[in-house]
Amino acid sequence: MFRKNWYLFTPLAIVGLPALSLVYYMFVFGYPPAEAVEATTHFFQSSTRYAMKYSDRHFALVKPGMDGKEVYSRIGVPFERHNNDTEWLYALPKGLTRAYHERIVIFAKDSKGVPRVKEVVRAFHAE
pLDDT for position 1:
54
Question: pLDDT tens digits, residue range 13-55?
Answer: 777 788 888 998 898 888 999 999 999 888 888 899 999 989 9
Q: Where are the domains of the chain?
A: 1-41, 46-127
Contacts of 25 (CB under 8 A, 6+ apart): 31, 35, 36, 39, 40, 124
Question: pLDDT tens digits, residue range 91-123?
Answer: 999 988 889 999 999 999 989 988 999 999 999
DSSP 69-101: HHHHHHH---SEEETTTTEEE-EEE-TT-SEEE
How far is the C-alpha of 91 from the C-alpha of 78, rounded, in Å?
Answer: 8
The fold of the 46-127 domain, in CATH, is Beta-lactamase Inhibitory Protein; Chain:B, domain 1 (3.30.1450)
CA 85-91-96 angle, 5° bins:
120
How far is the C-alpha of 49 from the C-alpha of 26, rounded, in Å?
Answer: 20
Collapsing DSSP to helix, strand or coil, 116 comes out as: strand
Question: pLDDT tens digits, residue range 54-96?
Answer: 998 999 999 999 999 999 999 999 999 998 889 999 999 998 8
